Amino acid sequence: MNAVGWGLVSAVVVALAATVAALAVPRRHRPAVTGVGVVAAGLLGTVAGVVATTGTTWSVARPDLLPLIGLELDVDSLSGVFLAVGGVVAIAAGTYAIGAARHGLDGPGVQAALPAFVASLLLVPAAGSVGTLLYCWELMALTSLVLVVAEHRERPAVASAGLWYAVMTHAGFVAIMVGLLVAAGAAGDGSFAAIRAAASGLSPAAASPAFLACLAGFGSKAGMVPLHPWLPRAHPEAPSHVSALMSAAMVNLGVYGIVRVGVDLLGGGPSWWWVTVLVLGAVSAVYGILQAAVGSDLKRLLGYSTTENMGLVLVGVGACGMFAAAGSRALAGLALTAALLHVMTHAAFKTVLFLSAGSVLHATGTRDLDALGGLRSRMPVTTAAFGVGALAASALPPGAAFVSEWLLLQALIHGLPAPGVVPAVVLPLGVAAIALTAGLAVATFVKAFGIGFLGRPRGAGAAAAAESGPAALTAMVLAGLACVAAAVCPTLVLPTLAEVAGGVVHAVPAVSGTVAIELVGVSGVLSPVLLVVTLIAAAAAVVGALRLLARRRDRRRARLWDCGAGPLSARMEYTATSFAEPLQRVFDDVLAPEQDVDVSHHEESRYLVAAVSYRRELPDRVERRLYTPLLDAATAWGRAGRGLATGSVHRYLGYGFVTLCGLLAWLVVTR
């Protein structure tokens, strides 16, 4: 067993031991025990992942370990990337979990589920056969479901979110199972190696349905539109460190599944598979960020932002498959490198954003941006952490996501001369989608940071806020440092990622360089380090010049300009809703907001208004148009079925008799 094997096995053993310990130790020590277990498992998983990305592979087959299917693990460099990302997120989330055990979160079930969830997050990318993958996937779904519904006693919305999540994740599971079983059936064996070997002989009539089923299942986990409605419900309702694990680590495994099955196991497939992925990714990106831009629930906004970022990753994956199908391997490698880098940067900034949102929720008791504000002086570390995350998420230089989006755009730009009509239509639209996303992401995160943390407190909770405990602060600082590192020196990981991506699509690494990111094969250079250095130098020059020129050094504190009408109150401030109102008006046709104005009059006179109530809702349109009719139909079907069941035993016996006769008649006719 090599370092990868030791790291992975010990990570899983530590996590499972923490699960057992959570059930055994008294309530007082439980959060610390599970938290430390999760951190240790995360560390070991990260080590295993990092070693695996350098090219060390490890595989094991133990048919005796799991009933019926056996356990087969197979870690290669692609698995390593997702292992490492999951491990790093687990370190931060575990640290946060030590301090996050409020009432209701320190029960044995919830505490035991957390390490088991982390173990499943590490096992899914390591799975080496269909059976093992499905087993770990289901373990991941169940443990995360337990965590999502942890606070169901406190808020009724949690139960509904849990129901959505449970149903959709299992529908996705069935889709993946069908897809993988079709592929495995053709290969005659469930191991990935066998499927890979048999892929070339697979007929398109079998491969395409298998891929589409897997795309639906894995895409739903990644929050791909239109299979996303569980995500903006479940992620906000879960405890914040669980939200971080789900949004920064679990959704990545959807992308992993698509890459593993589509590119690796099925060997690439025809171009239209990937055009589908690219288009769905672009739609998800725009739709997700548009919902986030007009939303005012901090954690729900972050959930929609996850849909957006996974959409961008899927654009990269789709472009990769498209280029590979067209034969340009170098560009395929570049697109996949961009997608993998975006997975990493998204994990970094989404962890810090969810953890600091959790810190805000804990301190103020609300996640409604309209009731927040003024947290800068009360919660300085949380504010700084959220600021770093918001900069990274808004894709502005020198932020982390800027680098990965730059790489993605480079891949699309250089791909345009590719032959065929389809790239000529799809690639510009892809760029336009990314461009729209970039602009709206800026608006979203200016709103989240500017309204949520700056200005004056808009509610009693925000006014009484106090900074979180040391564990939460440590976790936020760790995740924030990861964000900064990803923004300033992505070149530390990029050549490795490029090698991984090159290995997947059989091409030379698409990116090299230590100071600057240099594209191989096409022209393109970017140096985030130099950009930061130049910015700091310019800022120093400006401050120096100002010191030199200004006559008076002292600063005077003064009143804000209040139009001469007396002191300003927090009610005069802009809120998140008012901030997003112009954007909402611009995208009125897409968002279709529902408004309701109720005017009640005095009894004495109809001309005197007693009260005006105004209500506005921004429903998720996909949910409203697609899922509500579906659910209504299912309910109607159930109601119709109820008419058959009257409670009369005679009638039930009659059903049995009729069915039996019918079957016999059918057998007679067909045989």
Partner 1 sequence: MSALGVAGGVLQAVVIVGGAPLLLGLMRQVRARLEGRAGPGVGQPWRDLRKLVRKQSISPRGTTEVFRVAPVLLVAMTLVVAVVAPLVTTASAVPPVADLFVVVALLAHATVVIALAGLDSGTAFGGMGASREVTVLALVEPTALVAIFALSVPTGSTSLPTIVGTALDDPQRLISPASLLAAVALAAVIVAETGRLPVDNPSTHLELTMIHEAMVLEYAGPDLALVELGSAMRLSVYLGLFTSLFVPWGIATTASPLALALGVVALAVKVGVVGAGLAALEVFLAKLRLFRVPELLAGSFLLALLAVTTAYVLG
Query: Pattern of binders to partner 1 over 288-327, x per CB under 8 A?
Result: -----x----------------------------------
Spatial CA neighbour of 404 closest among 521, 483, 302:
483
The phi, psi pair for 459, rounded to 5°, reads -145, 170
Where do runs of H (alpha helix) occur along 295-420? 298-326, 329-364, 375-378, 380-393, 400-415
How many Å apart are CA 373 and CA 355, to the nearest integer? 17
CB-nearer residue toward partner 1: 514 or 628 = 514
Name which of residues 474 to 533 contact partner 1 (CB under 8 A): 515-516, 522-527, 530-531
* Candidates 4-12, 238-246, 255-263, 394-402; binding stretch for partner 1 (CB under 8 A): 394-402
Rounded to 10 degrees, the C-alpha dihedral 195/197/199/200 comes to -170
Helix axes 400-415, 470-488, angle to 10 degrees: 30
For 501-515, give one letter per residue: b (16+ CB within 10 A) or e: bbbbbebebbbbeee
How many Å apart are CA 530 and CA 397, to the nearest integer? 12
Contact between 558 and partner 1 by CB under 8 A: the answer reads yes
Non-local (6+) Cβ contacts of 277 within 8 A are 215, 258, 262, 314, 317, 318, 321
CB-nearer residue toward partner 1: 236 or 333 = 333
CB-nearer residue toward partner 1: 424 or 661 = 424
CB-nearer residue toward partner 1: 535 or 633 = 535
In angstroms, the Cα distances linking 109 to 89, 416, 527 are 22, 53, 48
Spatial CA neighbour of 274 closest among 194, 208, 342:
208
In angstroms, the Cα distances linking 33 to 26, 36, 37 are 10, 5, 6
Tell me the site size for partner 1, rule CB under 8 A.
Answer: 82
480: its two tokens: 């924030």
Q: How far is the CB of 572 from partner 1 (least distance, A)?
A: 5
In angstroms, the Cα distances linking 477 to 36, 41, 241, 469 are 17, 20, 14, 12
Name which of residues 579 to 638 contact partner 1 (CB under 8 A): 579-583, 585-586
Name which of residues 536 to 555 contact partner 1 (CB under 8 A): 538-539, 541-543, 546, 549-552, 554-555
Q: How far is the CB of 473 from partner 1 (least distance, A)?
A: 19
Contact between 377 and partner 1 by CB under 8 A: the answer reads yes
**525-526 and 517-519 strand pairing:** antiparallel
* Candidates 32-40, 350-358, 369-377, 662-670; binding stretch for partner 1 (CB under 8 A): 369-377
CB-nearer residue toward partner 1: 61 or 396 = 396
Query: Pattern of binders to partner 1 over 58-97, x per CB under 8 A?
Result: ----------------------------------------
CB-nearer residue toward partner 1: 532 or 626 = 532
CB-nearer residue toward partner 1: 243 or 394 = 394
**DSSP 8-state assignment for residue 75:** E
Centre a 10 Å sphere on the Cβ of residue 365 and count the other Cβ atoms it contains.
15
Out of 167, 535, 610, 630, name the contact with partner 1 by CB under 8 A.
535
- 151 within 8 A of 158, measured Cβ to Cβ: yes
Q: How far is the CB of 204 from partner 1 (least distance, A)?
A: 29
CB-nearer residue toward partner 1: 466 or 661 = 466
Q: How far from the centroid of its chain's Cα atoms is residue 478's Cα?
A: 19
* Candidates 176-184, 221-229, 372-380, 616-624; binding stretch for partner 1 (CB under 8 A): 372-380
Q: How far is the CB of 483 from partner 1 (least distance, A)?
A: 16
Name which of residues 129 to 158 contact partner 1 (CB under 8 A): none
How many Å apart are CA 240 and CA 228, to the nearest integer? 19
Contact between 572 and partner 1 by CB under 8 A: the answer reads yes
494: its two tokens: 């990029």
Contact between 578 and partner 1 by CB under 8 A: the answer reads yes
Label residue 539 exposed, middle or buried (CB < 10 Å: 0-12, 13-18, 19+): exposed
Q: How far is the CB of 327 from partner 1 (least distance, A)?
A: 18
162: its two tokens: 């849990």
Q: How far is the CB of 356 from partner 1 (least distance, A)?
A: 16
CB-nearer residue toward partner 1: 561 or 614 = 561
Name which of residues 415 to 474 contact partner 1 (CB under 8 A): 416-417, 424, 428, 431-432, 434-436, 438-440, 442-443, 446-447, 449-451, 454-456
* Candidates 109-117, 201-209, 411-419, 617-625; binding stretch for partner 1 (CB under 8 A): 411-419
Q: How far is the CB of 194 from partner 1 (least distance, A)?
A: 42
**DSSP 8-state assignment for residue 72:** E
CB-nearer residue toward partner 1: 435 or 609 = 435
CB-nearer residue toward partner 1: 265 or 335 = 335
Contact between 409 and partner 1 by CB under 8 A: the answer reads yes
Helix axes 30-53, 3-24, angle to 10 degrees: 170
